[in-house]
Structure 1
């Protein structure tokens, strides 16, 4: 059974909640048809589903073979929240940006 964090990441992948994370995993799985099949099968599946658990197990196997990939996944974990809005800004930002989950009312930049 994969560690709970990997199941949470797998659930985020299934819902494509974090696009950069999905692309990272999809690219890493590109040469592994079994892991790619697990990623595809989990798409849209519920967090506790067998498909998400299988994806978590595929992540675990990949991390065991490639610890650097595991470190990169764990770095993304800080912005992965099941059932929440997840924002990610990278690179140089010019101008205003706001990252938020729930906003009641408007947002004004001055």
Structure 2
């Protein structure tokens, strides 16, 4: 029983940190959000939602290589994640990698993200 309580406490802590990261993101403090969300992603690397929000925080704080890395991991885990394709396309555009961007933007559009 004690082990279950510890695990539950750990899950609640991760959820609280995710919400805190989302709050900073919503208020436009993308660098702080990225720091918090990077810790969340380290705790739950298989979960797509925190990783996608981390990628968005990197994108909005002009950390484009980090955004690209996270978005590629999201797409590897969930190839049907249309928003990740859209964000990756935009991230590549901002890096003047238009040919690479085109593929992801087309996929996003075909999946209904645009």
The two structures have a TM-score, normalised by structure 1, of 0.29
Q: Which structure carries more relative contact order (alpha carbon 8 Å, separation 6+)? A: 1
